[in-house]
Structure 1
Amino acid sequence: MKYDYDPVPTKSFITSGTKTEIVIQPVTNFEKNDGSSLGKRHGQMFIYSILLFLTLSMSVNISICIVAMTDPTASINEDIPTYNWTDKSIILSAFFWGYMLPQIAAGWLVTKYGPKWFLVGAMTLCSLFGYLLPIMAESLGSKGVMGCRFMQGVCLSVVYPSVHALLGKWVPPNERSRMATFVYAGSPAGVVVSMFVSGYIAASWYGWPMVFYFYSTIGLMWSLTFSYFGSNGPAEHSTISNEERNYIQSGLKQGEDDGTFRTPWRKILTSIKVWALITTSFGYSWGYFTLLSEIPIYLKSVMKFDMESNSLISCLPYLLKLILAYFFSFVADKLINKKICSIGTTRKLMNGIGMVLPAIALLWLGNTGKDEVKLVIVLLIVAVGISSAGLSGFLVNHMDLSPNHSGTLMGIDNQFSLLSSALGPLSVQFLVPDEENADQWKFVFYSTSIIYVVVTIIFCVFGSGSIQPWNNAEEDRYQEKEKEDAVL
């Protein structure tokens, strides 16, 4: 059996007077592992995937519920309350405004202190606000719903920086596309299930309030599970084998002193490669969340689908996205591991597939008549489904650039990309004043297509798949100290 890695010695930084020395301590009794067997990291990946499943389920269930909340015929139970609200797009965007605000702070905090208990607290609070939402809708109307959705967004803002920080600790580069895709596939899976289940429950005797109670209960169960089984990294896991721990840390070129790194804010914020990533994420999020939030309204208002058909058709694009995500991740890792393409080229290729092809589908959709029902459904499925290639593109690029600071990078990235997640659905409020006017929806599809193409070009020109020099802040500090000593 051949191995493409070596044991990584632990590095200690010792300061004496004005001198700082790196002491290399060799690893003894090193057990080798080729990564083919199941281990604790796979269990952690499953828990993270369920987390993203719940996060997206809680994010998008309002897209189905808002239809039921404003349609007296949606439920077979006439006693389910409904409302005559004209600010539906603002309600849809409220979650993203709350989600956007703490991103940079969340990324820094989970990197510095570890994500585990932040995640437990966040999911617990989010679930409690889910229980509260039907009560607030009845007592305060749409403003009460906006408040609950805003606070749920604030709670879940910690999720993506935490997951990226955890992946940076748990996943070696040769498994990155597959492992990250498995975890992030929880997102489209959450959308698929939430669209279908939420529509079914909202149309049932229990009505739309039960949707929020259902997901809040599962959220509390996840918090209890993760508080017991979760871990901030292999170094902290109590039952992981030495063999697997060494395999992970060797692949990441990390020793036991990980987690003490200072954040190189200046170098991160002045990196053109980081900004190429941020710009790409901004454009992707604009299209993804605009379609995610507005497809049910488009299908009801323009295509005239009923409640159950709406939820079923709305989830089909995300079912394809879930399936294709695994295919693209397999292709991406093969391209990298077989040395057919570099990491950077692979990320750019996946981005091109995941954005340019959906852009073409959306342009076509804008020129499709509302009587061409089958074609509309196919184009929506293609526009959303093929975007799954981006999971093996820009979405894992944070770990390519800096495994040690991937949580912080995701926090910065999300701060900007979630601005587009809020602006995208909100723009529909102005672009489509008449929801039944198919011509007005063209502006939504055209603008999204243009954004997709522009950010793809930017990433192809300025993006990178290489680890950046500022990844190891402690070594960077040591080098700076050496320069100071040389001057003295």
Structure 2
Amino acid sequence: MRVNLSVAIVAMTNKNSANPDFEDFDWDESEKSLVLSSFFWGYIITQIPAGQLAERCGAKYLLLVAMSLCSLLTTLTPLCASYGGWMAVCGLRVLEGLCQGVLFPSTHSLLSKWAPAAERATLGTYCYSGSQFGTVVMLSISGVLASSVMGWPSIFYFSGAAGAVWAIFWFIFGSNSPSEYKNITPEERSFIESSIETTTTDSNATRPPTPWLAMFTSLPFISLIIVHSGHNWGFWTLLTKIPAFMASVLGLEIKSNALLSSLPYLAMMLMSYFFSFLSNVLVKTNWVPLVYSRKVFNSIGHWIPMLALIGLGYVSNDQKNLAIGLLTLAVGINAATYLGFQCNHIDLAPNYAGTLMGITNCCANIMSIIAPLVVGLIVKDESNIEQWRIVFFISAGVYFFGNLLFVIFSKTDVQYWNEPTRRRNENGSTQENTRSGVA
């Protein structure tokens, strides 16, 4: 539901569409950029509140309500476009963003309660690779759906229906914690709860106040905010603009455009499993300390795509295979960040994993708003490779500096403010928990 518009908007604004029975819209590049970025206007608002709610009240019904509403809103997109134009679609996407803003903070909160420490990175990778799976499916079939008898509206009907089906399964099987899940075996519940009891608070009822000041004065956490923001700038520039780049510069029509647009995200999904396996091997054999593992994987996930983006700025429209290869590399290698900054929130403060993810994802998605707008300001002629080159160079620079700060300042020690009731000792120094955790 988040990415369907990236491909659909190509068909919606294509006056030479193979399916002329459905309305097309005369939206210029600036208007299309506003439509594509509007999702994030709502998305950033609910990030931090969602983290707090998920930690204090549980994530099950928060996710259920949010996804059900978002599914309904998605199916209304064609109606809004027909009767209200691009401004109505913007408003609808803002509401969808408000709903989906709860997803990542809630998922992090669930992981902190369900994932044993030794399996945290693996289970986290499986959870978040679902984002790429959804992207692959949506981008792969969007071209076919747009050319079907139902036209481009079927893109929104399909993704809305998929969200509704998920909500039914989540209502039946989802649970806030092992203690609330009726079908879990006593042995499994005991195993999970005993493995995470030292990294979670005893109960939501006795939960201490969130240590906001300590969070925002923590250098490792500040570096985490910056690297997450840099990641979103590059990732969402590519996600929202790959279809337009392929159509205008490479001259690929909508069906092959959608299929090829999904290839980088298929590579990212598969690479996430490979990197997860590699991380487990490194940790279990003690070859690489956890803090260096986080930094190495994050550098792979940001600096190799940086180089690919620089190369992409010099391809021409007769080098389609090279361009597709570089795009696939730039997005696919991003998967290494699942073992880098994306699980560092739980390293720093497992008691506040949902809130930390809410804060960094809120800040990062401000970049997701700005990045497509910057593309709209730079790319006035979508077929001009020199204008696209500026876009790719900016993304490469953001990747470089964001990861550089993470490499210098990030930590994997559980921070003292994970347990706010701890007090400073008589000398005024902070009693920090220096436990490094498990990947």
TM-score range, shorter chain: over 0.9
Contact 1:174 / 1:337 at 8 angstroms: preserved in 2?
A: no
Give 2:254's aligned residue.
307
Does the alignment pair 1:189 with 2:136?
A: no
Name the larger-Rg structure: 1
Contact 2:52 / 2:355 at 8 angstroms: preserved in 1?
A: yes
Equivalent AA in structure 2 for residue 456 of structure 1:
N
Shift of 1:480: 6.9
Does the alignment pair 1:444 with 2:387?
A: no
Contact 2:138 / 2:159 at 8 angstroms: preserved in 1?
A: no
User: How many angstroms apart in 2 are the aligned matches of 1:237 and 1:344?
Assistant: 34
User: How many angstroms apart in 1 are the aligned matches of 2:262 and 2:275?
Assistant: 20
Partner of residue 235 from structure 2, selected from 283, 288, 303: 288
User: How many angstroms apart in 2 are the aligned matches of 1:246 and 1:482?
Assistant: 38
User: How many angstroms apart in 2 are the aligned matches of 1:444 and 1:388?
Assistant: 22
Does the alignment pair 1:471 with 2:415?
A: no
Shift of 1:360: 0.5
The TM-score, its normalising length taken from structure 1, stands at 0.84
Partner of residue 280 from structure 2, selected from 330, 333, 346: 333
Equivalent AA in structure 1 for residue 358 of structure 2:
G
User: How many angstroms apart in 2 are the aligned matches of 1:146 and 1:138?
Assistant: 13
Q: Residues 30-51 of structure 1, C-alpha deviation per residue, up to 9 Å, x if partnerless?
A: xxxxxxxxxxxxxxxxxxxxxx
| Structure 2 portions without partners, runs of 5+ | 428-439
Shift of 1:370: 2.0
Shift of 1:75: 4.0
| Structure 1 portions without partners, runs of 5+ | 1-57, 484-488
Does the alignment pair 1:344 with 2:300?
A: no
SS at match of 1:141: helix
Partner of residue 82 from structure 1, selected from 4, 24, 30: 24
What is the correspondence of 1:44-443 to structure 2 with a 5 Å cutoff? 58-76=1-19, 78-86=20-28, 87-254=31-198, 257-259=202-204, 260-262=206-208, 263-443=210-390
User: How many angstroms apart in 1 are the aligned matches of 2:361 and 2:121?
Assistant: 20
Shift of 1:176: 1.4
User: How many angstroms apart in 1 are the aligned matches of 2:27 and 2:332?
Assistant: 31
Shift of 1:481: 12
User: How many angstroms apart in 1 are the aligned matches of 2:233 and 2:358?
Assistant: 17
Q: Residues 83-129 of structure 1, C-alpha deviation per residue, up to 9 Å, x if partnerless?
A: 11111111100111111122111111111111111111101111111
SS at match of 2:414: coil
The 3 A distance-change label for structure 1 pair 95 and 388 is same
User: How many angstroms apart in 2 are the aligned matches of 1:397 and 1:67?
Assistant: 37
Equivalent AA in structure 2 for residue 257 of structure 1:
D
Shift of 1:482: 11
Contact 1:177 / 1:329 at 8 angstroms: preserved in 2?
A: yes
SS at match of 2:3: helix
The TM-score, its normalising length taken from structure 2, stands at 0.93
Among the aligned pairs, what percent are the same residue? 41
SS at match of 2:178: coil
Shift of 1:430: 0.7
The 3 A distance-change label for structure 1 pair 100 and 360 is same
Q: Residues 204-237 of structure 1, C-alpha deviation per residue, up to 9 Å, x if partnerless?
A: 1111111111111121222122122111111222
Q: Residues 266-322 of structure 1, C-alpha deviation per residue, up to 9 Å, x if partnerless?
A: 211211111111111000010001100000001111111101010011011111111
Contact 1:169 / 1:403 at 8 angstroms: preserved in 2?
A: no
Equivalent AA in structure 2 for residue 193 of structure 1:
V
User: How many angstroms apart in 1 are the aligned matches of 2:331 and 2:242?
Assistant: 11
Contact 2:201 / 2:351 at 8 angstroms: preserved in 1?
A: no
Contact 2:4 / 2:159 at 8 angstroms: preserved in 1?
A: no
What RMSD in Å do the two structures reach over aligned CA positions?
Answer: 1.7
User: How many angstroms apart in 2 are the aligned matches of 1:234 and 1:481?
Assistant: 36
SS at match of 2:2: helix
User: How many angstroms apart in 1 are the aligned matches of 2:316 and 2:163?
Assistant: 41
SS at match of 1:214: helix
Contact 1:350 / 1:393 at 8 angstroms: preserved in 2?
A: yes
User: How many angstroms apart in 1 are the aligned matches of 2:400 and 2:4?
Assistant: 29
User: How many angstroms apart in 2 are the aligned matches of 1:379 and 1:415?
Assistant: 29
